[in-house]
Structure 1
Amino acid sequence: MGAGAALAMPCIGARAGTRPFTLMTNWYAQPDQGGFYQARETGLYRRAGLDVQIRSGTPQLNAPQMLLSGAVDAIIGFDTQVILQRAKGLPVKAVAAIFQQDLEGLIAHTDVNHPEELRTRTLLLAPSSMAAYWPWMKQRFGFSDNQVRPYAYNLQPFVIDPSVAIQAILTAEPCDLQRRNVPFRFFTLADYGYPPYSGTIVTRDDTLTQDAGRLRAFLKVSMEGYRDYLLGDPTPGNNAIMRENRLLDATHVACARDALRRSNACFSGDAVQGGLGIMTAARWQATARMMADTGQIADAAVWKEAFTTEFLPTTPVVP
């Protein structure tokens, strides 16, 4: 659906005119976040009565801490992170999932046919990955801690060393390696049973009660923005992404968007009927059970407090 087809939103409360609704992303501007930029650049937010600010995340910024402090209204977070925070009694909650599967995985050289074959290789992982999915990978594939070295988001160690594998996200490292004509294999964690969603929108408990109108409006229009970005003309969103992240060019952005479209991560699974952003109790329960099984949490029942679908569009946003 084009930007002009967005429906007018109902009154979203007095707070709408007092300050912007601020979203902090999980990384520098990327096509993964394209729906938010598309909604901003095409005027979807504005026509819904929203002033939305998008702040790029960086490795130096602690997005969950900024959310809890009230510096931002919502962040793009991780299911495992939300469950860990709820287990500690912190007042955060997931309200939507942009992608129905996790986009992360491992990149290996072409002689590797299955992740289990990486047990004897060096794995380059960032601290965030160690916290999120490393416990699951160790259990699932039989990896060990002594295999791991820090990942500095530099592809050169992989390019020059056939014994190295690296963490990757569908829309980043594969595009960079393709551009350099470096052969590789990409193993998406979701294909091997990793249950979390990706692109999870997280907010505070007080926002659910004190700013519910703006939150509902933000989620509805953001889902429309993603539909427009992935199925319509992505030029407005892409131009904004490249303005805010000068390290990306049109070739990379086009590759990343194409990867999202081919994966169908936004529109597959429960989103076929439930629409963009949908989440289910079964998926959150599966993620919590995985975390309990790997020793990350003591009580898997915490998943019940980790998410809500109450603020998703009443009419599902579907292709």
Structure 2
Amino acid sequence: MPRRFPAILFAVVAALPAFAADKVTFATNWRAEAEHGGFYQAVADGTYARHGLDVKIVQGGPQVNTQILLAAGRVDFAMGANTIEMLEAVQQNVPIVAVASMFQIDPVIFMSHPGEGFDRFEDLPKATAFIAGAVRASVWQWLKKAYGFRDEKIKPYGFNSAPFIADKKSIQEGLLTSEPYAVEKQGGFKPNVFLLHDYGYDSYSTTIQTRADTVEKKPDLVQRFVDASIIGWYHYMYGDNAAANAAIKRGNPDITDGQIAFSIEKMKERGIVDSGDSLTLGVGAMTDARMKSFFDKMVKAGVSPADLDYGKGYTLRFINRKVGLELRPQ
């Protein structure tokens, strides 16, 4: 005969409070775009929720400094642009730590006009170069040391490609996933694209950063956010990403379906998210060897001091665990 439980027991169980997800705020470094897709995916498909997280994504932009927001405790996690940012934070004693890198390849590029004498990378130092201040302080210093680029060729880049389109003897900085598409639409030609990673610039990109005290006091929260973000990126790159793209367009009405499709195509084509160490360690992977390689380049270029304790700026504690590897198409 089945056991019977008093009705009052069921009433007590029903009255128990539901599990409350941890509220988390994550700041991106630009307006919503496909390059942030894995994070929007993890919200849209419930991956964060399944990891006990209620995540709010706060968009960045040209006037938003996500590292300041993070250091001040106004957000819990923030998207870092590249390894340079991490080195600068250590140098300035800002207590934030990179805990994962969603992009194995920094998509920073130079573009040139085809058939104008700048079809090879070794030709580029001769061209007028439209670059922004952040690139001049970092990437450009490495290019000068490694490839002979010269300061007198610089013209300021104000995130408008019109001057580059008009000057056929120029080059312009950009991201593999963005500016080539805009130039082709605006200028009516397909630019030569040089991914700096192919020439030795081995920065990580699209990192997840948090405060050092969060790593120390809330490691479980960090682990869950990192794991869920990794799974979100697998789903975005290899699964149904329609809901995430709809969320991106709601957040950034100026972005087009064409731009989103182009960005995803280029991320897949060049392994921006999933290549190298991520093939065996999982998306989000970082290694000490890669960090040292990049740091040594920045020291040689005069960007970072040789005695910088750059290891304070990152941790491998939450990654390289093969999380989500089974989601990668075989």
Q: TM-score, normalised by structure 1?
A: 0.90
CA contact (8 A) 1:288 1:300 kept: no
Residue 109 (structure 1) aligned with residue 113 (structure 2): yes
Taking the aligned partners of 2:49 and 2:22, their CA distance within structure 1 comes to 13
| CA RMSD, Structure 1 to Structure 2 (Å) | 1.7
Alignment of 1:1-319 (within 5 A): 17=20, 20-77=23-80, 78-111=82-115, 112-180=118-186, 181-299=188-306, 302-312=309-319, 314-318=321-325, 319=328
User: Is the CA contact (8 Å cut-off) linking 1:288 and 1:301 kept in structure 2?
Assistant: no
Secondary structure of the corresponding residue to residue 206 of structure 2: strand
**Residue 315 of structure 1: CA displacement?**
4.1
- Output the CA distance in 2 between the equivalents of 1:284 and 1:144: 27
The question of whether the paired residues in 2 share the 8 Å contact of 1:116 and 1:142 is answered with: no
**Gapped runs of 5+ residues in structure 1?**
1-15
Q: Secondary structure at the match of 2:255?
A: coil
Count of aligned residue pairs for this structure pair: 304
AA aligned opposite 1:110: P
In 1, Cα distance between equivalents of 2:303 and 2:167? 32
Cα distance in 1, alignment partners of residues 239 and 176 from structure 2: 21
AA aligned to 1:218 is F
- In the aligned structure 2, how far is the partner of 1:121 from the partner of 1:268? 32
CA-to-aligned-CA distance 1:30-76 (integer Å, 9 cap, x gap): 11110000111111111221011111111111111111111111211
Q: Secondary structure at the residue paired with 2:30?
A: coil
Q: Report the TM-score, using the length of structure 2 for normalisation.
A: 0.87
- Letter of the 2:106 partner, please give it: D
Distance 2:26 2:191 in 1: 34
Q: Distance in 1 between matches of 2:170 and 2:20?
A: 52
- After superposition, the Cα gap between the structure-2 partners of 1:223 and 1:119, relative to the gap in structure 1 and judged at 3 Å, is same
Whole-Å separation in 2 of the counterparts to 1:83 and 1:175: 31
Partner deviation per Cα, 1:220-244 (whole Å, 9 max, x = no partner): 1111111001101111111111111
When structure 1 is superposed on structure 2, of 18-27 and 247-256 the one drifting more is 18-27
C-alpha distance in 1 between matches for 2:21 and 2:269: 40
The offset of 1:107, in angstroms, is 0.7
Residue 169 of structure 1 deviates from its aligned partner by 0.3
Give the counterpart letter for 2:275 in structure 1: S
Alignment check: 8 A CA contact 1:115 1:141 kept:
no
Query: Structure 2: where are the runs of 5+ without partners?
Result: 1-18
Instruction: Name the SS of the counterpart of 2:69 in structure 1.
Output: helix
SS in 1 for 2:292: helix
Q: Is the 8 A contact 2:202 2:290 kept in 1?
A: yes
